[in-house]
Structure 1
Amino acid sequence: MDLASELARHTLDHLSLNVALLSADGTIRASNESWRRFGRANDIQTAPDTVGENYLEVTTRGDDPYAQAAAEGIASLLDGERETFSLEYPCHSPEAERWFLLSASRFAYDGSRYVVVAHQNITERVAAEQAVDRERARLSHLLDRLSGLLQDASADLVGAADRAAVETTLCERLAADDAYLGVWVGRTSLARDRATVSARAAAPDADAAAILPAIDDEISLAGSDAEAHPLARSIDARTPVVLTAADSVGSDGGSRTAAPTEPTDATVTESATAPGSITSPGPSTPPSEIETDPSRRTAGWATVTDRLCRPDATADAVVESIPRTDDGAGGVVTVPLASGEGVYGVLACYAHRGGDLTDSELAILEALGRIAGAAIDALESRRRLVVDAATELTYAIRDPSFPLLSLARALESDVEYGGSVHRSGDRYVRFLTAAVDEATMRAAAAELDGVVDAERIAAVEPPLFELRRAGPGLVESLADRGASVRSMSATPEEARLTVDVAANQKPRAIDDLLSGLYEAVDLRGYHERDRSPATAETFRDRVVGQLTDRQRDVLQRAYLAGFYADSRSATGADLAESMGITRATFHEHRRAAERTVLAALFDPEPYQ
C-alpha cells in the first residue's frame, strides 16, 4: 500500500522520534529511520524496521506491566474506543537507564483504520525530576530545627513555575528563618565569569535597604585574583564557603585563617562534607536571645554586600567588614545552585552569628542549593522542549590555535567562513573568503591540522576558496552536540563564532567544548528565541534535507561563486571544472536541486 509520497517518507526519516504506522490488526506497516536505528542499536531479534511484525503480539510476549498497559492502550485505539493514548515507561539498557514517552493516535485513510505510534526519549527530563525527588528524600532525614524550613522550601522550589520563582522562593524562605538577616541570589552567566543579582530578601523586621543595597551592575568573577573571590570559589569548587568573624581562632580541617583585625579574629572556612570541616567557636545563641534592635542588627551589612560584590573581592576584605554586636559576630555563607554539570547561580546568606553556621546548617543550605539547581535544570529542560527554544551563542576567541584565527594571522587578512559540505567518507569541505591569491591560501592552509588542499573556486571578489579536510573538525564537533555554525570570521587579532544550539541540547555543552579546546574563549552573546514548528529555519532545514550531497554542493558552490548574481562572475563551465565534473553533469545536478527548492516554494503543503 502506498502509505505516503517519497517526500513524506524523507520527512519522517528526519524526525528524532521513533515512529511506526500500524494497520487495523496491529501489524507494523511502516517505520522511520529513527525507529530502525533504535532497532539496530538494541540488537532486536527481527529486522530493524520491524515491518510485518504485529505490534500487539510483540508487546505482550513478556510480563512487563508497562508493555501490557501499552498493548491495552493501542488496542483501545484500534477498537475505536479512544482517539489518543500516551504512556511514560522505562526502557533500560545494560549501559544506561532510559525513559520514553509513547504517544499514539488513530485515524482513517481510504476506509481503513490506522494508528501512528511515536516513542520519544525523555530520559533527561525524567532524570532531572528524579534528581529533585532524590534530594527531597535525602533532606527529610536532617535536623528537626530546620525540618519545617526544609520541607516547605523544597516543596515550593520544586513547584515553582519558572527560574525567577525558584530564586525568589529560596530567598524569601531563608530570610523568614530566624537564623538569617538577609539572603540574595546571583544568577551566573554561561561561562560562570559574571553574576547578576536576580532575587533578594531580608528578615521580616530588618531594613532591607540597609542590608542589601541595590546592585544593578554585573558582578565580575574573573578579576585579577578570581580564585580568592568568595563567590567564584563557591561556584568553582561547587561547595559552600563560610566567612566568619569568629570569637576565637582555631579552625582546621580544610579551613583557612584570615588576617585578624582588632578586636576580633577572622575565620574563613571552605565547607566539606566530612564532619569537623566547619569551625563552630562556642555555643550558638538561641534566636530569642539575638539582638532585637533593628538598627543594631542591620548596621554594617551594606558594607559586607558592597565588598562581596566587588570584582576584586577577597575573603579577608569581606570578613573584616562583618558586623559584631553584643550577642557575637555575624557570618556569611555562599552556596552554589548546582545540578549535574551545571551551576546556575550562587546563594549568599547573612547569619546573625557565624557560630550558628555549623555542619548541620551548611548541610541544609547545600541541599537547598542542590534542590534549587535541580529545579532550575528541570524547568529549563522542560521549557526548551515545550517551546522549542533555540539558543544563539556568540564567542570572541583569541587563541592562536583556533583554525580560522590561525589562518587569518598566516594570511595577514580577514577570513570569512561560508559554509561546509560533507562529500563522502572522511572528506569534508570548508568554503572561505579572503582577499589573497590562491598560492598564498594554499601555503597557509597547508599548515592547518587536517587540511589537505585549498583551491580558488571562481574569479569572484572577494576570492572564494574551497579547503578540503581529511576527517571532521570543529564544525562537526559542534554538530555532534546539537549546534550549527551561524557565522564565523576572523581578523589577525580575533575570531568571532556564532552558533545556534538546538532546543533539546544544553548550551553549556558547547561552552565546555570550546573552553576545553582553546584558551581565551570569551562568551560575548547569549540569546534565546522561541521557535514555532513552521519557522523559516525549520522550513529551510527540511528543504535542504531533500537535496543529495552533490546537489547541495553544486547549489551552494554556485551561489557563493556568484553564478546567480546579476553580473554572473562564474559560469557553469568554471564551476564544473572546479568540481572535477563535466559541464552537463553540473547543470543536471543544478536543475534537480532548483526543482526541489522551487517545489517547496510553490507547492509548500508537504513541508508544513
Structure 2
Amino acid sequence: MKERFERAPIGILEATPDGIVTDINGTACELLGVDAAATTGTPIDLVFPDSVEGAVPAAFEEERIAESTIEEYYPGLERWLSVSIVPGDDTVAVYLTDESSIRKQERHNDRLEDELDRLTVLNGLVSAVLADLIEASTREEIAETVCERLGETDIYEFAWVGEREVGGDDIVVRASAGTTGRTFDRIQGHLGDATDLPEDRAVETGVPQVSRPIADDRSIPEAVRRAAFADGVQSLLAIPLTYGSSVYGVVGVYATDRDAFSERERAVFGTVGSIAGFAVNAARNRTLLFSDSVVELDLQVSDTGAPLVAVATELEATLTVEGLVSQDSDRLLGFLRVDGAVPERFASVVSGGDAIELSRIVDEEESAGLLEVELDMETSLGIVSTHGATVQSARFESGRGRLEIELPPEEEIRRIVDTVLRRFDGEVLAKREEEREIETARGFREGLRDRLTDRQETVLRTAFLADYFESPRGSTAEEVATALDITAPTLLYHLRASQRKLLEEFFQTADRDLHGGPET
C-alpha cells in the first residue's frame, strides 16, 4: 500500500482534521517544492505556499471539513494546482494535480480569440480608412481621416498624425483625435527637442516602431512615460507614411491594452501607412496638376559623389534626361541621352553600383546613344521626384549637373531643396513663378489634326473605325490595307508615323498644361 502511495501519478498528502501533515508522497513534494522529511508534522498552511485566496488552509479552519475541489494559482511555484480535499474518519486526504499546461493553453486560446476579434474590428476599420482616403484631396484631409477613424474607435485611445517641418527634420502635428489626455500633451512638448520619440524613429528609419508597455520603455522620455501611466495608456505603434523611398510623416496610435499591436496587427497597419503615403503623394501631384501657376527651380549639383555627375565625369560625356517614369518600387525608370562616349562604356562605369543600373541600349551611335536605366530614389532625380516635384529637364556633365524642376506655389519648396542639398553639394541657381496657359479641348484637337498629313489622318481614322485598335481586333492590318487599297507594310508605316505625332503632341501638350512651359 505504501509503495502505491509513493508511486501514484498525482500528489497525495494526508493530514489530521486540525491541519497537521502526517504523510506526503514524492509527486506532492515535487508539485509543492517541499521536502518530505521536513513536511511531516508541519501545519498545512506552511506546506502550501501563498495564493490569492489561500483556500486550502482555510478549508482546515472550518469546524467541519467538507469535501471540495479547489483550483488556484500559486505565484511562488508559477503553477496552477487543482486540490481535492476528501475528509475521512480521522484523516483528511488531499490530492494534487498540475493544471498549468491546461491553463496556459486556455490563456493562449483566449489571446488568439481576442486577437482575432481585434483583427476583425481592425480590418473593418482599415477598410473604412482606405475608402475615406480615396475621397481625401488634401494632406490636411488625409491626416484628419486617419486620425478620426483610428482615434475615435473603442480599441484605441487616441491617434495623431505628424509631418516633417518645412525645411527641417522636426515633426509638427497635422491632426489628432481620441482621448489624448496628458500623454499627447507631453508628446507635443518633446517634439523638436532632440528626444528620441518612437514617432521620430519611424520617420527617420521608415520602419514601424512599437512599444509595450510604454512605462518600461526607457527610450521614451520620462515625462511621456509618466503621463501614459497616469492615463492608463500602455501600448503605442508609430507607422511611417511612406511612398517609395520617401517618408512623408507618421501616425502614432495609442492603446490602453498592454498586448495591443501584435505582429498581425502591425502588418495591417503597414498597409495604412503605405496607402496614406500614396494618398499624400497623389495629393501633391493633384495640387501641381490643378494649380494656376507653378514655381520653377534651377538646381545645380556640383558633388562628384552624386551618381549621375560621377558617371558623366568619368565618361567625360554629357548625360541628358529624355524622360522619367515612376514605378511601383524604389526605382525610377529613366531614358538618358549620352553624348561624347560610346554607350558600352556607360555599362562598364555603372556596373557594380546600386544607384544606377543599365537596362538596355535603345539606340547606339559612334559616340552617342539613348539608354534605358533604373535609378535609385536616393539619386538627385529620385529625391525630387518622390518629394512632389516634376523634373522638367536635367543635364549632367563633368563635375556638375543641372536640374529644372517644377512645383505648385504652395508646396514646401524649402524642404525639397534642403533634402537635395543635404545629400549633395549644390545650390539654387534660379527661382521663378510662371502662370499657366489654359488650352481648350477644341484647340487641343485642332493641334493634333494640324500635325497629321491628310493621308495619315485617313489611315488612322479608317483603322479606328474598323476596330483595328480593339482587343481582340475587329480587323487585321491586311483587311484595313485592302479597304484603303494600299499594302499592309504601307498601312503600318502610316499608322506608326501618325501615332508618334499624336503621342508627341499629347505629351508635349500635357507637359505644358502640367508645368506651364512654352510650346516646343
TM-score for the superposition, normalised by structure 1: 0.32
- With normalisation by structure 2, the TM-score equals 0.37
Q: Which has the larger radius of gyration?
A: 2
